[in-house]
């Protein structure tokens, strides 16, 4: 016989600001300051183990996190911004591919910089070609990446300080090598620090020690520090265009249904695909794919990730095709 409490269980989470500590830990994000030394995977494993230990103390009947996911691998020597998703929030890891990343790098030059060095550096802003280095996790095929901003902050002797804002998947080590070649003197990357991963940056980074301390305080009944260190997973979606859906529509999404027109309350203009209302490109090029959007209930609870494929003002039909259910 089925327990009525099971069939009537609410599939939606509490609003972000009303979640208990265990709920926060099972659907949260930490804007972590990765130290030099360990790999990104080692750091993620430490975060998972620390959180699971606290969950076992605070909610022994509930499940562990089930894992964590970081925002993109940093080499062991590289430091900086490594947002880390916990528990069910790992389903949204793809959102970090949608935003830009920012780095501060030291370019070690193999000779005195030429008089036109600043102009040489400026040539690398925009779309560039890159082949991943031999020691990489992807196939070594030539590909394009976009350098959104490339600032030469300082040159001292044979060192140049660069600020790089770039597309996810850009190899900064290779970029430094190529700048050195273009300058005619050679060069390699020295120190590297990631200063931002959209939508997070280095203004509110938290260390591993901050997390461990916050978890210990929470186990003793003081939640204040933990709620500063571990944030609702919805904070990782703020750079995406939003779709607001009715609670009834969110409950249907929990069962795997797409978002239909009657359940749509509001849609950011940035979520709408080109050509939806007949404003197709006139240059003969095909429409780009619709941007990734995040769907929320009116109280701010994340529902799903998907792409707008239909008219939100229509009386029927699919508006958002699902990519990840977050409930």
Burial 34-70, CB ≥16 within 10 A → b, else e = beeeeebeebbebbbebbbebbeebbeeeebbeebbb
Distance (Å) of CA 34 to CA 65, 82, 85, 196, 293: 20, 6, 14, 12, 28
Spatial distance between the Cα atoms of 270 and 107, rounded to a whole number of angstroms: 37
Spatial distance between the Cα atoms of 174 and 276, rounded to a whole number of angstroms: 39
Strand partners, 244: 266, 296
H helix or E strand, kind and range, residue 231: strand 230-232
**Catalytic site residues?**
75
């Amino acid at each position: 016989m089925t327990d009525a409490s099971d069939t009537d269980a609410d599939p939606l989470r509490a609003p972000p600001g009303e979640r208990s500590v265990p709920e926060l830990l099972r659907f949260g994000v930490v804007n972590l300051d990765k130290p030099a030394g360990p790999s990104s995977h080692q750091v993620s494993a430490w975060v998972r183990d620390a959180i699971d230990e606290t969950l076992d103390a605070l909610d022994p009947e509930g499940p562990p996190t089930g894992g964590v996911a970081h925002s993109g691998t940093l080499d062991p020597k590289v430091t900086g911004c490594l947002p880390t998703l916990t528990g069910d929030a790992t389903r949204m890891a793809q959102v970090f591919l949608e935003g830009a990343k920012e780095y501060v790098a030291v370019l070690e030059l193999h000779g005195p910089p030429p008089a036109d060095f600043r102009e040489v550096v400026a040539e690398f802003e925009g779309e560039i070609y890159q082949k991943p280095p031999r020691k990489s996790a992807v196939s070594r095929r030539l590909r394009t990446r976009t350098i959104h901003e490339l600032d030469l902050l300082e040159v001292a002797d044979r060192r140049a300080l660069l600020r790089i804002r770039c597309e996810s998947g850009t190899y900064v080590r290779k970029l430094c090598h190529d700048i050195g070649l273009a300058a005619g003197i050679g060069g390699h990357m020295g120190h590297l620090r990631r200063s931002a991963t959209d939508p997070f940056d280095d203004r509110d980074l938290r260390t591993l020690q901050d997390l461990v301390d916050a978890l210990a305080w929470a186990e003793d009944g003081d939640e204040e520090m933990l709620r500063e260190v571990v944030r609702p997973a919805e904070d990782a979606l703020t750079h995406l265009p939003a779709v607001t859906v009715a609670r009834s529509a969110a409950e249907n999404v929990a069962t795997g249904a797409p978002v239909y027109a009657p359940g749509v309350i509001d849609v950011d203009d940035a979520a709408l695909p080109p050509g939806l209302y007949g404003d197709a490109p006139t240059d003969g090029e095909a429409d780009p794919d619709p941007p990734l959007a995040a769907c929320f209930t009116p109280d701010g609870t994340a529902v799903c990730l998907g792409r707008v494929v239909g008219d939100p003002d229509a009386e029927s039909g699919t508006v958002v095709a699902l990519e990840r259910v977050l409930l």
